[in-house]
Amino acid sequence: VQLQASGGGLVQAGGSLRLSCAASGRTSSTFSRYGMGWFRQAPGKEREFVATINGNGDSSSHADSVKGRFTISRDNAKNTVILQMNNLKPDDTAVYYCAATTYYGGGYYQRNYHYWGQGTLVTVSS
């Protein structure tokens, strides 16, 4: 399973970005069986949970720090997971990683994720 994250960049505070994560490899025909998540790592900090979504996309959860501003979604026909980020703040600056788990419901803990993308950098200027 390979995950390719894209969509990062430089944006001013209050702006928006849309991150995409495309899955390929053995997951192509079974993507809907995987829970998916987004995590981020800010400079000098540990990687932290951002959002997770279950296999068919009807259940999701977001970290308190992004709730109401970020939305995770998925398109199983395209083997893609999206993180829509609105009202961005400088504290959102980080490398964002998508991850896949064989746990259908997804989850909050990094140790439960089996596959990771390479990360995409989001920089929010004040």
> Is residue 26 predicted with pLDDT exceeding 90?
no
Q: How far is CA 76 from its chain centroid?
A: 15
**Reported confidence tier of residue 27, pLDDT bands at 50, 70, 90:** low
Tens digit of each residue's pLDDT (9 = 90 or more) over 6-19: 999 999 999 999 99
Strand partners, 94: 122
Q: Using CA atoms, how far apart are residues 92 and 37, in angstroms rounded to an integer?
A: 16
Among the listed residues 63, 116, 54, 61, the one whose alpha carbon sits nearest the alpha carbon of residue 92: 63
Please state the rounded mean pLDDT for residues 98-112.
Answer: 95
Residue 92's pLDDT is 98
